[in-house]
Amino acid sequence: MSRGEDAGISFDSPFHDYLNTNYAPTDVEISQIRAHLPPYEGELARLDALIQDLSAQRNRIRGYVDSHKALISHPRRLPQDIVGEIFLACLPTQRNAIMSASEAPLLLGRVCSRWRSIAYALPRLWCSLHISADFVDSEELQDVVTDWLTRASLLPLALSVHWSTSLGYEYDDIVIATLLPFSSRWSALQLLNVPDEEFSSVAEAHAPLLADIGILFERRFGRREYVQDDENPPEASILKSNIFLGQNLQRIAITTREPPYFVPTAPFTWDHVTNLIFRASGGGDQDRFDVPAVYRLLKGCPRLRSLDLPMYVGYGPEADVQHGLLTLPTLEALSIRNDSNTSELFENFLDTLVMPRLTKLHLTNSNINAETADPPILERLAQHAPLLSDIRLELFSFWDTITIIRGLQPFPHVEKLGIVLWSPEESWHSLQSDESELFDVLSPDSDANSEPALRELSLETQDFGEKPWVDCLRKHLLRKTGFRRFHLHLWCDGPRDKIDLTELVAGGLDVSVRCSISDEAARKPTPWQGIER
């Protein structure tokens, strides 16, 4: 017998045969149904009231139990130093922290008073900060920034500031004015779209701990339409500014419309510069270094360890200038984005550089119409850079890439090879049909294989068939070479079938394949509209 029947209620309905059907009762039956339901509705109301009362009792007891269990919970018993380490692990790793209540560190202080006290008392939690200039536009927010940086105590600071280009050319100096009192603790500083007026204040700051500085000027620095003095551009004195003279400075990255103007025409010495990066934000030959400008730069930076710049060598007076050998005793990494219309003149320039400690070379050739010189560039470079071990090639020409790889034979230390292949539309089918040629060169049983020490290969291209590179990796496994890692990045028109890497991974290779859809609109901006560290 059911619980309802125990309470004096029977579930033996006289309308049982019609329940859950499409039957339409008559008027008499409707009256009978209405007379039949009141006892059941009364019992239902009684049970609802009982459930409500029991639920209230349950909630009171649950709250009582939970409050006591909270006293003995594991998070409450964690030592403060352990909680602090967990908090530090919550910070973003690819960018600076932002002033958002939905991210660490501010989010951590919204959980409970204990967490807030731990977070506010942990200086390392507040050592990085990204600021949007159009956000910090009041004294109240200025005080927020000051409080943030004050919590970092005496620790070094990693800062980044983003100025919106939509704000125009008139800016309030409230952001820089807020940061300048902390300049003695700057260790990394990134300024994106910085106006001239703001940078002028930063340039004279005393920043002895500064090790990394990156600047993207919102227009050609120091230039107005009425300024026409190209012989003494204001840019040339920037690297002599106070902020660039610190002994700890390791990396300088400058992005502007005309980077060559940052190199003085007169002899100079920048002993403090060790890692230098130039980026061109405009277009045209004036945004790239010619041979004389590069020579002046290299001669003026005797302690340079890495250099990254855009370069153009064309037919003209500068191409006829004869330069002697230039020794760069400390240079370890060289990256050149070559947009020359002749590879021969560019290679002649590289032939004049003696780099006994060079280990990394990144060569980008963005001119698809450039003439290819012979013999290959690396074949001659081996005489002046014998320790080269990490090479990255980003070329438009498929056959130029193969030709250069064939020229690796004089380099016995090449362990890492990166290849980026971008083929013009008209030669796309040629790239697909000749892809096996590349892996034939990289195969261990090929006479053309010139990298016995090769351990890592990365390839980025528009598309590639699976068989050529899989066969190449199988040969490396069969021959038991020192090759250990292969990364393939494909830009595709749509999703591809999953590639089975079980055999290669089981053989001891570290293999990864990444497919990206070629859609610029699908790329999401960074959450802070700034530059990543």
Residue 19 corresponds to which tokens in the numbers above? 């329940």
Residue 315 is predicted with a pLDDT of: 61
Residue 138 corresponds to which tokens in the numbers above? 């009041």
Sequential DSSP letters for 346-415? HHHHHHTEE-TT--EEEEEE--TTPBPPSS-HHHHHTTT-TT--EEEEEES-HHHHHHHHHTTTT-TT--
Domain extent for 56: 3-76
Q: Per the structure, how many domains does the chain have?
A: 1
Closest to 248 (Cα-Cα) out of 277, 274, 269: 274
Closest to 4 (Cα-Cα) out of 42, 57, 55: 42
Residue 472 corresponds to which tokens in the numbers above? 């190449």
- What's the DSSP call for residue 248? T
Residue 323 corresponds to which tokens in the numbers above? 């330069």
Residue 227 is predicted with a pLDDT of: 44
Q: Are 459 and 482 in contact (CB under 8 A)?
A: no
Residue 393 is predicted with a pLDDT of: 87
pLDDT digits (tens, 9 = 90+) for 295-351: 889 999 999 999 999 888 766 655 555 668 899 999 999 999 887 766 677 778 888
Residue 425 is predicted with a pLDDT of: 45
**Contacts by 144-150, CB closer than 8 A, 24 or more apart:** 144/99, 145/99, 145/175, 145/178, 145/179, 146/178, 146/181, 148/99, 149/179, 149/182
User: Could you give the CA distance from residue 130 to residue 145 in angstroms, rounded to a whole number?
Assistant: 10
Helix/strand number for the chain, H first, E second: 17, 16
Q: Is residue 41 part of a domain?
A: yes
Q: How confident is the model at residue 100 (pLDDT cuts 50, 70, 90)?
A: confident
192 exposure class (CB count in 10 Å sphere: 0-12, 13-18, 19+):
buried
Q: How confident is the model at residue 530 (pLDDT cuts 50, 70, 90)?
A: very low
Residue 154's SS3 state is coil
Which residues, in sequence order, are CB contacts of 322 under 8 Å at separation 6+? none
Residue 491 is predicted with a pLDDT of: 80
Q: Pick the range with the lowest mean pLDDT from 295-309, 438-452, 500-514.
A: 438-452
User: Could you give the CA distance from residue 218 to residue 195 in angstroms, rounded to a whole number?
Assistant: 6
User: Could you give the CA distance from residue 464 to residue 461 in angstroms, rounded to a whole number?
Assistant: 7
pLDDT digits (tens, 9 = 90+) for 252-310: 999 888 888 888 888 888 888 899 999 887 666 567 888 888 988 999 999 999 999 98
- CA torsion, points 227, 232, 238, 242, in degrees to nearest 10? -110
Looking at per-residue pLDDT, the higher value among 229 and 152 belongs to 152
Q: Are 275 and 306 in contact (CB under 8 A)?
A: yes
Q: Is residue 392 part of a domain?
A: no
Residue 69 has pLDDT above 70, yes or no: yes
Residue 253 is predicted with a pLDDT of: 92
Q: Pick the range with the lowest mean pLDDT from 75-79, 167-171, 231-235, 293-297.
A: 167-171
**Cα angle at 518 between 512 and 522, to 5 degrees?**
100
Residue 225 is predicted with a pLDDT of: 40
Q: Are 352 and 323 in contact (CB under 8 A)?
A: yes
Pairing of strands 485-492, 416-421: unpaired
316: left (phi over 0), alpha (psi -120 to 50) or beta: left
Q: Are 389 and 359 in contact (CB under 8 A)?
A: yes
What are residue 287's phi and psi, to 5 degrees? Answer: -90, 5
Cα–Cα distances (Å) from 406 to 206, 275, 376, 378, 441, in that order, read 50, 30, 8, 9, 7
Residue 219 is predicted with a pLDDT of: 63
What are residue 360's phi and psi, to 5 degrees? Answer: -120, 130
Q: Pick the range with the lowest mean pLDDT from 88-92, 182-186, 266-270.
A: 266-270
User: Could you give the CA distance from residue 107 to residue 93 in angstroms, rounded to a whole number?
Assistant: 16
Q: Is residue 67 part of a domain?
A: yes
Mean local confidence (pLDDT), 51-68: 93
Helix (H) or strand (E) holding 192: strand 186-194
Q: Is residue 17 part of a domain?
A: yes
Q: Is residue 23 part of a domain?
A: yes
Q: What sections of 301-360 are H helices per DSSP?
A: 343-351
Q: Is residue 293 part of a domain?
A: no
* pTM for this predicted structure: 0.75
Residue 529 is predicted with a pLDDT of: 47
Q: Are 159 and 97 in contact (CB under 8 A)?
A: no
Q: How confident is the model at residue 521 (pLDDT cuts 50, 70, 90)?
A: very low
Q: Is residue 181 part of a domain?
A: no
